[in-house]
A and B are shown apart, each in its own frame.
Chain A
Amino acid sequence: MDFAFTDEQLAFREQVLKFSQNEIAPLSEEYDEKGEFCWEAWKKMGEFGLLGLHFPEEYGGAEADVVTSCMAAEALAEGGADGGLTLSWGAHTYLCADTVFVHGTPEQKEKYVSKLASGEWVGCMALTEPNAGSDAASVATTAVKKGDRYVLNGSKMFITNGPIADVCVVYASTDKEKRHMGISAFIVEKDYKGFGVSKTLKKMGVKTSTTAELFFDDCEVPEENVLGEIGNGFPMALQTLEWDRSALLAPFVGGMEFVLKECSRYAKEREQFGRPIAQFQAIQQKLADIKAFVEAARLLVYKVAWSKDQGKALNHMEAAVAKLFVGDWGMPAISEAVQLHGGYGYMHEYPVERVFRDTKLAQIGGGTSEIQRMIISRLLLA
């Protein structure tokens, strides 16, 4: 048992934290208010090397391990980056680019991975549909082979980075009868014929990460853009959970650490009844509970990351436990943080208001809390 990070990891974490505090956090409030993607922050992240961190150097990456990748995501959030930016990063780097990197042909990797790793192109992943959410295997979008291309028809819903993506990994059914084992993955570029994007969907939180519905209307995808094997799409989508339950959860940990700092500072500054509210036990109770949440969530998330670094296959129990805890125990924690701030916490000006809205997504995105409980209880009762 050893919970220590290496000196190198800690030094890098510190760099990302400073970078976030100085370059990214000052942009968070404005873009959250506008509900716009922040290209300035994105470009800076690309230049810093965050968008392709774990890829080999030949693709412009730093070959970071998963733990380090999580530390970067955690530190960016701890520095004050909003949950939208970290979500866009996660969907882009891990759910899109990494899937191409892991399952792509040399030509596909050559064409897409470097440009995604630098941030020149933006990537997205499209699995969810208007009528296929928790029941992800029931995708209705079809892909039919015609000559040297596949013709896609259907639509995808709640697609992170949809409005700005250049490249999209799309999951579509190539064999309805085989249900989830008849799903295949395709790399779709934004200007392919028959590919359309809705206007940006308006959301409660993670607003700087833009979301859209994608339309496939006899969309023509060249055969060489099949990603991986035909019929192997569902396992590939499941494989992205390794990242979804580590690098995409880490920002929620960092975000709550950021919130804890905000709460502590506010509690010491804010005076009521002639003394700083930090001296009241009801306030101390909230600080203690938020702190306990952060420490526990961090341990769960890094356990998933560490397992992936060990080359172990995803432990679905551990992954579901981490996801469920971050969401369902995170929400009460952030609610306490808003409460601690009183009326100010309800105001947009204070970052806890934003984090409250952002955190709600942790219970819904990437598999709802209910789905996590289904997975856990099934495994327990097996």
Chain B
Amino acid sequence: MDYSLNDEQLALQESFRKFCDNEIKPNADKLDKADHAEADKIMKQNFKKLAEFGYTGMCHEEKYGGSGKDLVTQCVAQEELARVCAATFLSVGGSLGLCGLPIAHFGTDAQKKKYLPKLISTDIIGSFGLTEPGAGSDAIGIKTTAEKKDDRYILNGSKTFISNGPIADIAVVMAVTGKPDEKGRNVSSFIVEKGMKGFSAGKHLDKMGYRGAPTSELFFDDCEVPTENLLGVENEGFIQAMKTLEYGRIGMATVALGIAVACMEESIKYAKERQQFGRPIGKFQMVGFKLSDMKVLTDVSRLLIYKAAWLKDTNSPEASTMASIAKLTASEASTQISSWAVQVHGGYGYMTEYPVERLYRDAKLGEIGEGTSEIQRLLIARDVLAKY
């Protein structure tokens, strides 16, 4: 048993925190409020900066330009980025994680060589297309089809809520290739490139939070994808997607934690400075105790995230349920904490000038993205009922 971070992790935490505070944080507010074109520009700059630091390669092998860090170490770094800019976290995670990881895990050597180095260097940006207008939590119900014709697949359908959709150069897309199957064994994944005939992205979708992270629909209109762009084996796409989402879940838990930590830090600062009735409001128990509960829930979230990541690093069969527990707990903690943070700030917290206003909007996605809280509870309960 060892609850401590090792020296390398501690050093990374410190240096990356400094980097994030200096390079990413100053633009976080601008990114949130800029128009889409301006936001996309800032986001791409953030991608480059993070590539230079080495953040974008942490989850990938050295031979493709990554640094192959274990998941616990990745989580340590991720929390720092999430703490200063959740939107950047989401966009980068969408490219390197949701798009990059399935390529790394299931792709051919040729596919890995072709795409991973460029994703890591951020010369290209990736996205992940599973969700559809009619298939959210019920992901098995996707309707986009891929029909094999000679040396290519013809894709038809559409995807929605796709992170990086408007700026992505490639997308890992799930489409139906087989007969209807209740376990999703009729879905395959494809690497679709921008410029392939019949592939287009919709306009930016306007969101409550994460406003700096571009999101759109993807359209496939007799879209032609060469057979060599099939990812892994035909009809294994759903399993690939679920395995990818296990990482996504830990990622979503971590971004929720980062938001919560930022809320706590802002609240502590404000509660010390703000004077009412002749003393700092933090001295009042109804304010101070909110801070205490923020601390409890951030500590709990972090431990669950580390535990889930460690289980994944050690290939434990319990990793999946723990990832759900971490995601559920951290995201619900995050919405609760962000609400308290606004409350602690009073009227100022309702003003867009104060970061907690953005954090409050950002936090909500945690309970929705990468599997809603309801889906996490179903998964956790299924595990309990199977075990006991």
Mask of B1-22 contacts with A, CB within 8 angstroms, 1/0: 1111110010000000000000
Cβ of A381 and Cβ of B282 under 8 Å apart? Answer: yes
Contacts of A287 in B (CB 8 A): 380-381, 384-385
Cβ of B2 and Cβ of A306 under 8 Å apart? Answer: yes
Q: Give the shortest distance, in Å, between B146 (CB) and chain A (any CB).
A: 33
Mask of B280-318 contacts with A, CB within 8 angstroms, 1/0: 101101001101110110011001101101110010000
A275 in contact (CB, < 8 A): no
A199 in contact (CB, < 8 A): no
Contacts of B380 in A (CB 8 A): 287-288, 291-292
Take A295-B307, A295-B325 as given contacts and tell me if A4 and B299 are in contact as well, using a CB distance cutoff of 8 Å. Answer: no
CB nearest neighbor in A for B329: A292
Cβ of B293 and Cβ of A373 under 8 Å apart? Answer: yes
Contacts of B9 in A (CB 8 A): 1
Q: Give the shortest distance, in Å, between B266 (CB) and chain A (any CB).
A: 12
Mask of A261-304 contacts with B, CB within 8 angstroms, 1/0: 10011011000000000100101110111011001100110110
Cβ of B288 and Cβ of A2 under 8 Å apart? Answer: no
A313 in contact (CB, < 8 A): no
Q: Give the shortest distance, in Å, between A237 (CB) and chain B (any CB).
A: 23
B230 in contact (CB, < 8 A): no
A321 in contact (CB, < 8 A): yes
Cβ of A261 and Cβ of B296 under 8 Å apart? Answer: no
Q: How far is the CA of A2 from the CA of B328 in the complex (A)?
A: 22
Cβ of A295 and Cβ of B304 under 8 Å apart? Answer: yes
Q: How far is the CA of A268 from the CA of B4 in the complex (A)?
A: 40
Cβ of B1 and Cβ of A4 under 8 Å apart? Answer: yes
Cβ of B388 and Cβ of A264 under 8 Å apart? Answer: yes
Cβ of A296 and Cβ of B304 under 8 Å apart? Answer: yes
Q: How far is the CA of A291 from the CA of B382 in the complex (A)?
A: 11
Q: Give the shortest distance, in Å, between A332 (CB) and chain B (any CB).
A: 13
Mask of A25-63 contacts with B, CB within 8 angstroms, 1/0: 000000000000000000000000000000000000000
Take A5-B1, A299-B304 as given contacts and tell me if A380 and B291 are in contact as well, using a CB distance cutoff of 8 Å. Answer: yes
Partner of A296 from B282, B292, B300, B382 at Cβ < 8 Å: B300
Cβ of B384 and Cβ of A288 under 8 Å apart? Answer: yes
Take A1-B3, A376-B295 as given contacts and tell me if A325 and B384 are in contact as well, using a CB distance cutoff of 8 Å. Answer: no
A210 in contact (CB, < 8 A): no
B118 in contact (CB, < 8 A): no
Contacts of A292 in B (CB 8 A): 325, 328-329, 380
- The bracket for how many chain A residues form the interface is 35 or more
Q: How far is the CA of A97 from the CA of B346 in the complex (A)?
A: 50
Cβ of B385 and Cβ of A299 under 8 Å apart? Answer: no
Cβ of B388 and Cβ of A381 under 8 Å apart? Answer: no
Q: Give the shortest distance, in Å, between A1 (CB) and chain B (any CB).
A: 5
Cβ of A264 and Cβ of B310 under 8 Å apart? Answer: no
Partner of B381 from A288, A329, A374 at Cβ < 8 Å: A288
Cβ of A317 and Cβ of B295 under 8 Å apart? Answer: yes
B376 in contact (CB, < 8 A): yes
Take A267-B385, A292-B380 as given contacts and tell me if A324 and B3 are in contact as well, using a CB distance cutoff of 8 Å. Answer: no
Take A1-B4, A288-B328, A291-B325 as given contacts and tell me if A325 and B288 are in contact as well, using a CB distance cutoff of 8 Å. Answer: no
CB nearest neighbor in B for A379: B295
Take A292-B380, A321-B299 as given contacts and tell me if A381 and B307 are in contact as well, using a CB distance cutoff of 8 Å. Answer: no
Mask of A247-266 contacts with B, CB within 8 angstroms, 1/0: 00000000000001100110
Contacts of B85 in A (CB 8 A): none
Q: How far is the CA of A318 from the CA of B295 in the complex (A)?
A: 10
Which residues in chain B, 227-247, are within 8 Å of chain A measured between CB atoms? none
Cβ of B300 and Cβ of A380 under 8 Å apart? Answer: no
Contacts of A370 in B (CB 8 A): 285, 289
Take A377-B288, A377-B291 as given contacts and tell me if A1 and B306 are in contact as well, using a CB distance cutoff of 8 Å. Answer: yes
B112 in contact (CB, < 8 A): no
B114 in contact (CB, < 8 A): no
Contacts of B34 in A (CB 8 A): none
Contacts of A299 in B (CB 8 A): 300, 303-304, 307
Contacts of A284 in B (CB 8 A): 377-378, 381-382, 385
Cβ of A380 and Cβ of B292 under 8 Å apart? Answer: yes
Partner of B292 from A1, A300, A372 at Cβ < 8 Å: A372
Q: Give the shortest distance, in Å, between A7 (CB) and chain B (any CB).
A: 13
Contacts of A265 in B (CB 8 A): 388
Take A295-B322, A376-B291 as given contacts and tell me if A278 and B385 are in contact as well, using a CB distance cutoff of 8 Å. Answer: yes
Contacts of B314 in A (CB 8 A): 4
Partner of B291 from A4, A288, A381 at Cβ < 8 Å: A381
Q: Give the shortest distance, in Å, between B141 (CB) and chain A (any CB).
A: 18
Partner of B3 from A281, A307, A374, A378 at Cβ < 8 Å: A307
Cβ of B5 and Cβ of A1 under 8 Å apart? Answer: yes
Take A296-B329, A380-B291 as given contacts and tell me if A268 and B385 are in contact as well, using a CB distance cutoff of 8 Å. Answer: yes
Take A1-B72, A268-B385, A295-B325 as given contacts and tell me if A381 and B288 are in contact as well, using a CB distance cutoff of 8 Å. Answer: yes
Cβ of A281 and Cβ of B378 under 8 Å apart? Answer: yes
B268 in contact (CB, < 8 A): yes
B24 in contact (CB, < 8 A): no
Take A264-B388, A291-B325, A299-B300 as given contacts and tell me if A373 and B288 are in contact as well, using a CB distance cutoff of 8 Å. Answer: yes
CB nearest neighbor in B for A5: B1
CB nearest neighbor in A for B387: A264
A67 in contact (CB, < 8 A): yes
Cβ of B304 and Cβ of A288 under 8 Å apart? Answer: no
B271 in contact (CB, < 8 A): yes
Contacts of B377 in A (CB 8 A): 281, 284-285, 288-289
Q: How far is the CA of A4 from the CA of B2 in the complex (A)?
A: 8
B207 in contact (CB, < 8 A): no
Mask of A204-218 contacts with B, CB within 8 angstroms, 1/0: 000000000000000
- B residues lining the A interface (CB < 8 Å): 1-6, 9, 72, 264, 268, 271-272, 280, 282-283, 285, 288-289, 291-293, 295-296, 299-300, 303-304, 306-307, 309-311, 314, 322, 325, 328-329, 374, 376-378, 380-385, 387-388
* Interchain residue pairs with CB less than 8 A apart (10): A1-B2, A1-B5, A1-B72, A281-B378, A284-B377, A292-B325, A296-B325, A299-B303, A373-B288, A381-B271
- A residues lining the B interface (CB < 8 Å): 1-5, 67, 260-261, 264-265, 267-268, 278, 281, 283-285, 287-289, 291-292, 295-296, 299-300, 302-303, 306-307, 309, 317-318, 321, 324-325, 329, 370, 372-374, 376-378, 380-381
Question: Which 8 A-B residue pairings sit nearest by Cβ, starting from the closest?
Answer: A377-B288, A284-B381, A264-B388, A288-B377, A376-B292, A288-B380, A373-B292, A299-B303
